[in-house]
């Protein structure tokens, strides 16, 4: 579909912590040149090196030495010349002396055989083990035009955006990140989507955890990519040990982390998704409304290299955490949100009973369990849950058996109301041939069931608990004013893939062996609306995923289309990576096209949804997260 993934907004960057020695620019530049070669081989558009990497951070009073300063200039000139080959932009730390006698701790941006610009460290620590102000001048507010016969002309200032292969890159140096007024916040508001931090942060017990959290949450607050490279063990001197901590984060998620304490140096290679970041910023009104800083200067700083592969893992089930411990915590929280939302709705109307249609399928089973949890929260008896099963012309024996077993195991009375006769009468009134199993035949059953549930709720002073899930709402796989409607839908923002995991978690952690066996059988039952009769009670004529496509694909498409705002072409490429071992290209094309068609054509159903608890970052509620015209055509794909 494309030979260069940069068109999807990807940018590859490398952070490196080479083995460097304090006071040895000539030796250090050899290590930096090798890191540059590795970055080029990896097709990285950017190489980030640590703070004061050319000299080493631990030079102390040697920073004032004219010999060290000249050796640094010579080493820097070599590194600048090496970037003339193009492709990879280098960010390197070095002491920078200017004509008026000031010495700055600076990060220099090198590309295409020149120094594109330099950024001074704004906040100089002078506490604990750090004495930066002994040698360097604060860079906050500095705006200088440097003219150097050996190094060329460039700007020394914090307010610069470096344009690198489509990315807007800005720099802050070590302590700047830890400061109460970090320059990186202004960088992000000025348009920087990627912030680089050359650092020299020594290692202490638990400091790495703090540093990791700081980088991760900074990327979330600024809605940016953040790349961090700290000095390695070779710069350890006297009381301080450096570990070479390398970190990459994107909008609150750690993308990668390098090996610390390596005596041979370490690298970290990551791909940032700049398109995703732009989408997040556009949809975040708080970010959009924040006051912008004074204008920044934009500087061209390298074209990058063609990117034909990707380092990013693409999860096939983005709604479901891969880690078992994380999922267990997530499952408990989701169920608590669902039950609390329902309990609060009950309190708003007094002491209503709950009325639920229990089909024996996946969705209604989870909603049934949530209803039990809500009653338990309110110290209410299970007698206040009225479960109703309504077998119709196509109801299978397996699901009916499951519904009965669920109610019995939970101590809930199950009301059975067959609807075949009522549907037959209704179809006769419409002069509809009962042997024609079309949409009228199917929807008559769904609406008959909904009518019964609401009328029972009226009779018993109850609320109808909805069961339809997020995946069905995305596809419009529900009957308008049938199962589409409820008093409160507890499953409204739970996708089908997550629902299966939740039910399995519930079976393993919340119930006894007998009920667990029933839940496992529900999970093993083919997904079907059971609206068209089969040849026998055991035959299922309708398999939902054969009709609308695999739910795991639709949940994947939904996540990337709504959560990330990705274009169909990018979604298709992502799906090809995530499902390479399960679906061929033509299958992915078919179901992505079907998803887009259904998602756009079925918005009218979502426009009139009943309320339900939001449990994740993707919701289709018309009152909050998702609003679109009912008439919009699907994008061409």
Catalytic positions, please?
51, 121, 174
- Reported as type and span, the H/E element at residue 622 is none
Closest CA to 373 of 413, 342, 406, 346: 342
Alpha carbon separation from 277 to 166, 219, 311, 563 (Å, rounded): 13, 10, 17, 11
Distance CA 145, CA 151 (A): 13
Do residues 13 and 248 make contact, with C-beta atoms less than 8 angstroms apart?
yes
Token digits of residue 144: 């200088």
DSSP at 460? H
Q: Is 331 helix (H, G, I), strand (E, B) or coil?
A: helix
Instruction: Kindly state the tokens that stand for 546.
Output: 């054969």
> From CA 351, how far away is CA 522, in angstroms rounded?
31
Residue 11 in 3-state DSSP?
strand
Written as one string, the DSSP assignment of 482-550 is TTT--SEETTTT--HHHHHHHHHHHHHHTS-HHHHHHHHHHHHSPP----S--SSTT--S--HHHHH--
Euclidean distance between CA atoms 579 and 537, whole angstroms: 35
Closest CA to 425 of 400, 445, 452, 451: 445
Token pair, residue 411, equals 């101590």
Q: Is 632 exposed, middle or buried (0-12, 13-18, 19+ CB in 10 A)?
A: exposed
Give the residue among 519, 458, 528, 453 at the shortest CA–CA distance from 483. 453
Residue 373 phi/psi, 5° resolution? -65, -40
**HEC string for 36-69:** HHHHHHCCCCEEECCCCCCCCHHHHHHHHCHHHH
Whether the CA torsion 483, 484, 485, 488 is positive or negative: it is: positive
Q: Yes or no: say if 354 and 372 are a contact pair by the CB < 8 Å rule.
A: no
């Amino acid at each position: 579909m494309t030979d260069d993934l940069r068109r999807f907004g990807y940018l590859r960057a490398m952070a490196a912590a080479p083995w460097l020695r304090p006071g040895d620019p000539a030796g250090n530049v050899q290590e930096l040149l090798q890191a540059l070669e590795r970055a080029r081989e990896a097709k990285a558009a950017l190489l980030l090196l640590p703070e004061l990497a050319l000299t080493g951070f631990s030079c102390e009073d040697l920073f004032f030495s004219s010999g060290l300063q000249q050796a640094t200039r010579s080493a820097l000139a070599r590194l600048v010349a090496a970037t003339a080959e193009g492709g990879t932009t280098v960010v390197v730390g070095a002491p920078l002396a200017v004509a008026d006698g000031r010495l700055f701790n600076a990060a220099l941006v090198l590309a295409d055989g020149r120094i594109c610009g330099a950024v001074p460290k704004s906040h100089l620590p002078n506490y604990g083990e750090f004495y930066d102000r002994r040698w360097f001048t604060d860079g906050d507010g500095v705006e200088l035009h440097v003219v150097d016969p050996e190094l060329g002309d460039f700007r020394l200032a914090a307010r610069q955006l470096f344009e690198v292969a489509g990315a807007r890159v800005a720099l802050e140096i070590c302590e700047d990140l830890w400061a109460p007024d970090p320059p990186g916040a202004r960088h992000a508001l000025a348009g920087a989507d990627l912030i680089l931090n050359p650092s020299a942060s020594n290692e202490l017990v638990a400091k790495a955890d703090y540093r990791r959290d700081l980088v991760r949450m900074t990327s979330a607050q600024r809605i940016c990519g953040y790349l961090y490279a700290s000095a390695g063990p070779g710069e350890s001197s006297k009381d301080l040990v450096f570990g070479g901590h390398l970190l990459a984060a994107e909008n609150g998620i750690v993308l990668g982390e390098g090996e610390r304490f390596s005596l041979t140096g370490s690298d970290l290679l990551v791909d940032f998704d700049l398109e995703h970041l732009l989408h997040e910023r556009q949809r975040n009104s708080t970010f959009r409304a924040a006051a912008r800083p004074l204008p920044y200067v934009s500087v061209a700083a390298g074209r990058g290299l063609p990117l034909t592969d990707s380092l990013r893992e693409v999860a096939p089930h983005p709604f479901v955490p891969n880690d078992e411990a994380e999922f267990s915590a997530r499952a408990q929280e989701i169920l608590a949100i669902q039950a609390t939302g329902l309990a609060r709705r009950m309190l708003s109307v007094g002491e209503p009973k709950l009325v639920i249609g229990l089909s024996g399928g996946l969705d209604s089973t989870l909603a049934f369990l949530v209803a039990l949890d809500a009653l338990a929260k309110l110290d209410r008896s299970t007698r206040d849950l009225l479960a109703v099963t309504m077998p119709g012309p196509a109801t299978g024996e397996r699901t009916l058996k499951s519904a009965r077993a669920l109610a019995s195991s939970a101590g809930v009375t199950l009301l059975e109301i067959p609807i075949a006769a009522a549907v037959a009468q209704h179809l006769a009134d419409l002069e509809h041939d009962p042997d024609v199993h079309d949409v009228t035949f199917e929807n008559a059953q769904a609406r008959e069931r909904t009518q019964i549930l609401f009328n029972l709720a009226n009779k018993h002073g109850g609320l109808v608990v909805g069961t339809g899930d997020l995946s069905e709402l995305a596809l419009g796989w529900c009957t308008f004013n049938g199962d589409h409607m409820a008093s409160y839908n507890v499953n409204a923002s739970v996708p089908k893939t997550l629902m299966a995991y939740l039910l399995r978690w519930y079976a393993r952690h919340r119930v006894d062996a007998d009920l667990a066996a029933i839940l496992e059988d529900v999970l093993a039952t083919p997904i079907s609306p059971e609206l068209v009769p089969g040849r026998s009670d055991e035959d299922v004529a309708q398999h939902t995923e054969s009709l609308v496509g695999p739910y795991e694909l639709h949940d994947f498409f939904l996540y990337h289309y709504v959560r990330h705002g990705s274009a169909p072409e990018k979604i298709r490429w992502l799906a090809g990576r995530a499902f390479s071992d399960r679906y061929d290209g033509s299958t992915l094309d078919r179901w992505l096209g079907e998803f887009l068609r259904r998602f756009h054509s079925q918005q009218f159903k979502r426009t009139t949804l009943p309320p339900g608890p939001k449990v994740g970052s993707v919701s289709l509620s018309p009152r909050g997260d998702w609003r679109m015209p009912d008439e919009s055509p699907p994008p061409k794909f």
